[in-house]
Amino acid sequence: MSMDFSGTVSKGRKRKRGRSWTLLVPIYIFTLLFVFLPLIYMVYLSFMTKAEVWGFENRFTLENYKKILDPLYLRTFLNSLKLALISTLVNTAVGYPYGYFMAKLEKKKRDIMLLLVMIPFWTSELIRLNGWIIVFRSKGVLNLILEKAGLIDKPLKLLYNYQMVVFGMIYALLPFMILCVYSSVEKMDWKLVEAARDLGGNAAQAFLTVTLPMTMPGLLSGVVLTFIPSMGLFFVADLLGGNKIVLVGNVIQQQLTKGRNLPFAAALSVVLMILTSLFIAAYRRITKTDQLEGLI
Amino acid sequence: MSEDLLVLQHIRKSFGSDDVLKGIDFSVRRGEFVTLLGSSGCGKTTTIRIIAGLEEPDEGRVLLDGKDITKLPPNARSVNTVFQNYALFPNMNVEDNIAYALRLRKVRKPERLKKASEMLELVQLAGFEKRMPDELSGGQRQRIAIARSLVAEPQVLLLDEPLGALDLKLRRQMQLELKRLQKKLGTTFIYITHDQEEAINMSDRIAVMNNGVFEQIGTPDEIYYHPRTSYVANFVGNANIYRGNDGVFAVRTEKVKIGDEPGCVIPAVVKEKSFAGGQLRILVALEDGQELTVSRFGINSELVPGQKTKVGWSAEDAVPVIDDGV
Amino acid sequence: MKSKSRLPGIYLAVVTAISYVPIAVTIIYSFNHSKISSVWEGFSLEWYERLFSDADIFVSLRNSLILSVLVCAVSAVIGTLGALGVKRTNFRLNKVMAYFSSVPIMIPEIILGMVYLALFSFMNLPFGIVTLVIAHASFCIPYIYMMVSGRLFAMDPSIEEAARDLGASPFEVFRDITFPAILPGLLSGLLLSFAMSFDDVVISIFVTGPGFNTLPLKIYTRMKTGVTPEINALATLMILATTILILLSWKLNKTGDKAEEEK
C-alpha cells in the first residue's frame, strides 16, 4: 500500500481508508472491558479465598474446586446436566417435527402457525410459567377438573418436583427449537429430496441423507439455544421446584445472595462454562456443523 | 490540447505477492472505443478499477485530460463504470437508479426525472421508470446500468465485461447497440472482454493483455493479421504457432495446407478430425511433436486419424512472432 | 406434492393447543373474581383495578421501558459500528474480538450475572441503571452485530463501488446504499434485543440496585411470594401488547412482500 500523505488531492481517499478502524473502537473497548476481562476475573476469583463476611482475600486456593467435588454439589451438577439433556432431547423430539411440518404447510396456514409460535416466543417466560402454576397448583385447574370428574378425592401434589421443573424448562425453550428448525427447513431445496427419491431412496433414506444434513445448522442452533439456557435458568427450578429442586444455577444464585461466597460462585461458574462449551464442541464435532441459524 | 484523453504511465499494482500489473503504459484518444482483451486474471479488471479510482496503483500515474487523477477518489473523477454484474441499487427503482448521479449533484427533481426518461429512451427502455431492479431481465439491467453511468456525462465510460452474463443472441444485439450508442454520444469507451470476436467487432483499437502486461496494442486488423507475439496470435486469431529452425511463426488454421494441396512438405500424422461451426478441423502432429490445427470450410477431407500426410504453407502466411511460450 | 396424511396437522394442532394452555388460563383467570380458588366465581375486573392502582408496577414498567430503550440504543451503535468496522478493515484481531463478543450469548445467563456482580463490585460501580445497561448490552450487541454483519457480507460490494463511481461521497454511499441494505438486519436485531432486555430476569437480579426494579423482577418476586391474581391481569395485558406488536410488524413485512411480489 502506498503511504503518501503529502498530496492534497489524496485526502478523500486517505480519509476513507484511514478512519475505518475508528468504527471498531466501541466494540473493542466494550468486548475487552465487559466480556474478556470479566471472564478472566471470574477465573481469577475462583482461585481466591473467601473473606469472612463478603468478598475475598487475595490468597490462592484450590478449595473452591475441591468443594465442587463434594457429593452434594456433584449431585447438583449431575442433576442439572440431566435436566439440560432431557430438556434438549425432548425439545428436539417435539420441536423438530413441529418445525418441519410447519415449513411444509401451504403459505397461508404456515403464516398462521408462525404467528401462533411467535406469540409465546416473544412472551416473557415468567408469564408463561405463571399460567402453568395456575393449572398445576394444589387448588389449580387440573386438580379441580380431576376432582369434578371424580377421579381423585384429594388434590394431587403436582408442583414442586423434578418432573415439573423438567416440564417447565422444556415448555419455556420449545419455541426456540421450533423457530430454528423451521427456518432451515423452509430454506431447503426440495428438489434435492426429489432427486434422492428419484435415485431410488425411500422416504426414510431421503430424509436421513438429504433433509437431516441440510437442516443440521437449524437443529444445531436449536440445540445450543435450548441446552445452554436450561443449564442456568434458575427461576424455573425456583418457581416450579420450590426449594426442593436445586440446580447449578440455583446454587450459584444462593452462593451470591445468601452464602455470600463469591469465589465459590466463580468456581461453579467456571465449571459450568467448561461443561457447556464441551457439550457444544462435542455436538459440533458430531454433526459437523458450524453455523448457527435462524432466530427470527 | 493533446489528442490523448486518458494516459496511463508505468502503472504497477500487486495484491500481496501477486503482481497483477507489471508496469503498463497506455493512452486512449478522445471518442475512441478501446477494448482490453485478455483471459481472466490477466489484469484487465484491475486496470479499469485503477482508472475508476476504485484501486490505487502502487506506482505510476493516471492522467485524464492532462490532469493527474491518480489519487483522486472515484467520486471526484469524470469516469464512470458499468460493472460486470450491473450493480444496480436494489433499494431504488429504475428511475432513481438512473438519476442517482444527478441527485448527488443536487439537480432538481423534475429535471433529473426528465433526464432519466431521456436516458431510458436512449437505451430503448422507455416506460420502465418505476420498475425495481429485481423485476428486470439480464439484458434490461444491463441497459439500465449503462444509462445510469452515462447520465453523469463522463469523459470516459468503463465497461467491465458488460455482456458476459447474456446469452449469445442478446450479446450480438447488445454489441451493435453499444457501438451505436458510443458513436451517437461520442463518449470514450474502455471495454473489457475475454471474447476476441466481441473485441474485433466493436473496437477502434484493441489492447491484448496477458500476465499484467500489454502484449500488443493496435487496430483489430493489426492484431488479427499481424500479431506481435505468439500469445496474441493464438488468443486473437486462433493461429497455430510453429517453432521452426528459422524462428517462430504464427500460421492461421485456414492457411495451413494439407495432403494433396500444393506446397505440403512437412510430414505429419492426422490425430483428430472434427466439425465445429460449419468448419472441418483436422489436428495433426509433426515429427518433432508440435501439433497444428488445419481448418476448412465445407470440405469433406478423406483424411482419417492415424493416416500419414504432409502439411505446409506459403511464406506470406507465416507471420514471424515473438515467442512467449504459448 | 400433497401429503395425504392428516397426522402432521393433528400433531401441530395438539402441540400448539398444549402450549396455549397457560396463556389461555392466565387470561381467563385474570377475570375471575376468586383470589385463591380455581373455581369460577364470576367475571370481575377487580384485578385490573388493583393493578392500575399499583404504583410499584407502574414504576417498574417505566424502568423496564427506559432500560430496554437505552440498551437498544447502546447496542445498536456499538454493534452496527462494529460490523461496519470489521467489514472495512482486515485486522487479524477482528476474529478474536468477534468470538469474544459472542460469548455472552453462548454461555448460561447465570454466569453473566455472577461475573457482572463480581466485576461491578470490583469496579465500585453503583448498582442500578448503568450496570443494568452494560449487562444487558453484553448479550444484545452480539445479536445486532451478527444480523448487521450478515447483511453487510451478503451485500454485493460493487453496489457501494457503483455509488462511489457515480459521485457519492463516503457519507452519501452510507446514507443511500449501505444503511438501507443493513436496515432490515438492524431492525430484527433491535426487536430481539428489546424483547430479551425487557424480559430478562436472570442477569438483572444480580446487577440491579436498590430502588431500581424492572418489571420482570417485580413479577418474579410477587410470584415467589404467593398467589397474585393481579399478575394474571398484568400478564394478560403483556400478552395483548406482544400480540399487537407482532401483528403490526407482520403487517409491515406483508406490505414489503406485496411490493416485491408485484412484478
C108 Cβ contact list (under 8 Å, min separation 6): A228, A229, A231, A232, A233, A249, A272, A273, A276
Q: Does B106 touch chain C (CB under 8 A)?
A: no
Whether residues A13 and B75 touch (CB distance < 8 A) is answered with: no
Domain B255-313 CATH assignment equals 2.40.50.140: yes
Give how far B204 is from chain A: nearest CA, Å: 33
Give how far C248 is from chain B: nearest CA, Å: 22
A29 Cβ contact list (under 8 Å, min separation 6): none
Contact C138, A35 (CB under 8 A): yes
**Per-residue pLDDT tens over the stretch A228-258:** 988 888 889 888 888 777 889 899 988 888 8
Exposure class string for C25-63: b at 16+ Cβ within 10 A, else e: bbbebbbbeeeeebeeeeeeebbbeebeebeebeebbeb
Domain definitions of chain B by residue range:
4-225, 255-313
- Among chain B residues, CA nearest to A13: B73
Whether residues A252 and C103 touch (CB distance < 8 A) is answered with: no
Residue A56 included in any domain: no
C200 Cβ contact list (under 8 Å, min separation 6): C109, C136, C214, C216
For residue B152, the chain C residues in CB contact (below 8 A) are 166-167
Total Cβ atoms within 10 A of residue C147: 26
For residue A1, the chain B residues in CB contact (below 8 A) are 56, 58
A82 Cβ contact list (under 8 Å, min separation 6): none
- Among chain C residues, CA nearest to B99: C166
Least confident residue range of B112-126, B152-166, B268-282: B268-282
Tell me, what's the pLDDT at B299? 66
**Per-residue pLDDT tens over the stretch A37-73:** 999 999 999 999 988 777 788 889 999 999 999 998 9
Residue A16 included in any domain: no
Give how far C181 is from chain B: nearest CA, Å: 8
**Among A25, A27, A121, the residue to mutate for chain C (most C Cβ within 10 A):** A27
B11 Cβ contact list (under 8 Å, min separation 6): B21, B23, B24, B25, B47, B50, B57, B59, B60, B61, B62
Alpha helices in chain A (DSSP H): 11-19, 25-31, 37-46, 63-68, 71-103, 107-122, 125-136, 141-148, 162-186, 190-198, 203-206, 212-214, 216-232, 234-240, 248-257, 262-287
- Among chain A residues, CA nearest to C185: A296
**Across residues C8-13, what is the average pLDDT?**
93
Tell me, what's the pLDDT at A294? 46
Contact C181, C156 (CB under 8 A): no
Tell me, what's the pLDDT at B130? 94
Give how far C81 is from chain A: nearest CA, Å: 5
Starting at the edge strand found earlier in the chain, the sheet holding B279-286 runs B257-258, B308-312, B266-276, B279-286, B291-297
For residue A16, the chain B residues in CB contact (below 8 A) are 73
Least confident residue range of A101-115, C29-43, C133-147, C149-163: C29-43
Cα separation of A220 and A225, whole Å?
8
Tell me, what's the pLDDT at B213? 92
Contact B216, B196 (CB under 8 A): no
Neighbours of chain B (3+ CB pairs under 8 A): A, C
In this model, does residue A291 exceed pLDDT 90?
no
Q: How confident is the model at residue B190 (pLDDT cuts 50, 70, 90)?
A: very high
Q: Does B66 touch chain C (CB under 8 A)?
A: no
Residue A218 included in any domain: yes
Cα separation of A16 and B90, whole Å?
24
Whether residues C119 and A233 touch (CB distance < 8 A) is answered with: no
Q: How confident is the model at residue B35 (pLDDT cuts 50, 70, 90)?
A: very high
Tell me, what's the pLDDT at B33? 96
Q: Which domain holds residue C238?
A: 54-261
**Among A13, A14, A15, A17, the residue to mutate for chain B (most B Cβ within 10 A):** A13
Q: How confident is the model at residue C1 (pLDDT cuts 50, 70, 90)?
A: very low
For residue A144, the chain C residues in CB contact (below 8 A) are 38-39
Whether residues C165 and B54 touch (CB distance < 8 A) is answered with: yes
In this model, does residue A183 exceed pLDDT 60?
yes
CATH topology of domain B4-225: Rossmann fold (3.40.50)
Tell me, what's the pLDDT at A14? 36
Whether residues C235 and A130 touch (CB distance < 8 A) is answered with: yes
Contact B280, B263 (CB under 8 A): no
Phi/psi for B310 (5° steps) reads: -135, 150
Whether residues B84 and C158 touch (CB distance < 8 A) is answered with: yes
Whether residues A7 and B58 touch (CB distance < 8 A) is answered with: no
Neighbours of chain C (3+ CB pairs under 8 A): A, B
Give the DSSP letter of residue B155: S
CATH number, domain containing residue A236: 1.10.3720.10
> In B, what residues contact A, Cβ < 8 A?
53, 56-58, 68-69, 71-73, 75-76
**Per-residue pLDDT tens over the stretch B223-275:** 998 999 999 998 888 889 998 888 899 998 888 988 888 888 889 999 988 88
Residue A130 included in any domain: no
pLDDT greater at residue B48 or residue C258: B48
**Per-residue pLDDT tens over the stretch A186-214:** 888 888 888 888 887 788 888 888 888 88
Tell me, what's the pLDDT at B236? 86
In this model, does residue A167 exceed pLDDT 90?
yes
For residue B56, the chain A residues in CB contact (below 8 A) are 1-2, 13
Domains held by chain A: number: 1
For residue B72, the chain A residues in CB contact (below 8 A) are 9-10, 12-13
Total Cβ atoms within 10 A of residue A257: 12
**Across residues C209-227, what is the average pLDDT?**
87
**Across residues A284-295, what is the average pLDDT?**
65
Least confident residue range of A138-147, B184-193, B219-228: A138-147
By Cβ distance, the residue of B54, B80, B91 closest to C166 is: B80
Least confident residue range of A217-226, B209-218, C76-85: A217-226
Q: Does A155 touch chain C (CB under 8 A)?
A: no
Contact C175, C247 (CB under 8 A): no
What interface predicted TM-score (ipTM) does this complex get? 0.89
Give how far B171 is from chain C: nearest CA, Å: 22
Q: Does A43 touch chain C (CB under 8 A)?
A: no
Q: Which domain holds residue A222?
A: 71-122+155-287
For residue C159, the chain B residues in CB contact (below 8 A) are 87-90
Give how far C168 is from chain B: nearest CA, Å: 6
Q: Select from A216, A225, A212 the least CA-distant residue to A177.
A: A225
Grid cell of B170 as nine digits: 442478446
**Across residues A260-266, what is the average pLDDT?**
91
Tell me, what's the pLDDT at A193? 82
Cell 442452533 -> residue: A221
Tell me, what's the pLDDT at A17? 52
Cα separation of A174 and A222, whole Å?
9
Domains held by chain C: number: 1
Alpha helices in B151-210 (DSSP H): 168-185, 196-202
Give how far C247 is from chain B: nearest CA, Å: 25
Residue C165 included in any domain: yes
- Among chain B residues, CA nearest to C170: B75
Q: How confident is the model at residue C4 (pLDDT cuts 50, 70, 90)?
A: low
Residue C58 included in any domain: yes
For residue C86, the chain A residues in CB contact (below 8 A) are 24
Largest Cα–Cα distance of chain C, in whole Å?
73
For residue C171, the chain B residues in CB contact (below 8 A) are none
Chain-wide mean pLDDT for chain C?
89
By Cβ distance, the residue of B57, B72, B75 closest to A9 is: B72
Tell me, what's the pLDDT at A203? 81
